[in-house]
């Protein structure tokens, strides 16, 4: 116990800095989750966004509790303890550097994690057999209502959606979504008359039932004026 008190008192400033950094990340996570919830189109997206908001609030609350605990320990409890309490005793070195090893289970999980690859020229993040757009083709010219075809096959699939954004833009608009796995089939349709003719990026996003999204499959397409 004396070693813990000594550690909390000696590294008080460093602990506050680390907690402040953690608080900033938690606040940023909460802000992004709130924005996702506000912009969500479908009820399932709102549900996942609410779950992430709950985790972010819990993380932020934990940082606040730890900060209060450090303040009480370092400012009130430690100064009131007698000097004899901190006499050196054989204790565990809390600052020792751990060996740089990981468990066999974690090493296997890292090795088996699929890496996003491109299936055709111009595509980004597509994974054959898991998440891929096969129609329209990357770089193709389309008009009118087109079928969106591809594959969405991931463990514990929650839902998938396909979105569109102007080229070189991060403003994505959801076209439609689905909940079932699809293998080299029709994911849905896209009425291209709803957008102005020009160059766009079409992306397919899959989210598992824990709300974690995979890297998106993105292809460029050109929308032509209606004939």
Instruction: Compare 66 and 202 and report the one with higher pLDDT.
Output: 202
**Region label for 186, one of left (φ > 0), alpha (ψ between -120 and 50) or beta (otherwise):** beta
Q: Are 174 and 204 in contact (CB under 8 A)?
A: no
* CATH architecture assignment, domain 116-223: Sandwich (2.60)
Residue 23 has pLDDT above 60, yes or no: yes
C-alpha–C-alpha distance, residues 138 and 200, integer Å: 11
- Using alpha carbons, select from 164, 162, 223 the residue that is nearest to residue 188: 162
List Cβ neighbours of 184 (8 Å cut-off, separation of 6 or more): 134, 149, 150, 151
What is the rounded distance in angstroms from the CA atom of residue 117 to the CA atom of residue 36?
Answer: 27
134 pLDDT tier (thresholds 50, 70, 90): very high
The bridge status of strand 141-142 relative to strand 217-223 is parallel
* Range with lowest mean pLDDT among 118-122, 158-162, 204-208, 212-216: 118-122
The pLDDT, as a whole number, for residue 148 is 95
Long-range contacts formed by 4-10: CB under 8 A, 24+ apart: 4/94, 5/73, 5/77, 5/78, 5/81, 5/85, 5/86, 6/86, 7/94, 7/95, 8/70, 8/73, 8/74, 8/78, 9/73, 9/74, 9/78
Block residue for tokens 């309490």:
85
Domain extents in the chain: 2-103, 116-223
Question: In the predicted model, is pLDDT for residue 97 greater than 50?
Answer: no
Provide mean pLDDT across the span 99-120. 46
Query: Which of 146, 150, 143 is CA-nearest to residue 119?
Result: 150
Residue 40: CB partners within 8 Å, gap ≥ 6?
46, 49
**pLDDT above 90 for 48:** no
Q: What does the alpha-carbon distance between residue 127 and residue 131 come to, in Å, rounded to a whole number?
A: 5
């Amino acid at each position: 116990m004396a070693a813990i008190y000594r550690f909390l008192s000696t590294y008080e400033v460093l602990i506050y800095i680390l907690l402040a950094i953690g608080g900033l990340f938690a606040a940023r996570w909460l802000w992004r989750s709130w924005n996702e919830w506000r912009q969500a189109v479908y009820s399932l997206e709102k549900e996942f966004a609410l779950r992430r908001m709950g985790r972010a609030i819990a993380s932020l609350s934990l940082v606040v509790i730890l900060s209060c605990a450090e303040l009480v320990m370092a400012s009130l409890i430690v100064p009131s303890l007698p000097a004899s309490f901190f006499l050196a005793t054989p204790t565990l070195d809390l600052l020792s550097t751990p060996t740089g090893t990981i468990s066999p289970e974690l090493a296997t999980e890292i090795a088996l994690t699929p890496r996003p690859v491109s299936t055709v020229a111009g595509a980004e993040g597509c994974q054959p057999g898991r998440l891929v757009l096969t129609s329209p083709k990357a770089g193709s010219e389309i008009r009118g209502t087109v079928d969106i075809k591809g594959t969405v096959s991931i463990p514990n699939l929650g839902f998938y959606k396909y979105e569109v954004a102007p080229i070189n833009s991060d403003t994505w608009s959801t076209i439609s979504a689905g909940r079932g796995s699809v293998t080299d089939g029709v994911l849905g349709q896209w009425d291209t008359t709803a957008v102005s003719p020009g160059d766009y990026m079409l992306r397919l996003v899959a989210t598992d039932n824990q709300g974690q999204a995979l890297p998106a499959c993105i292809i460029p397409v050109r929308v032509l004026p209606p004939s």
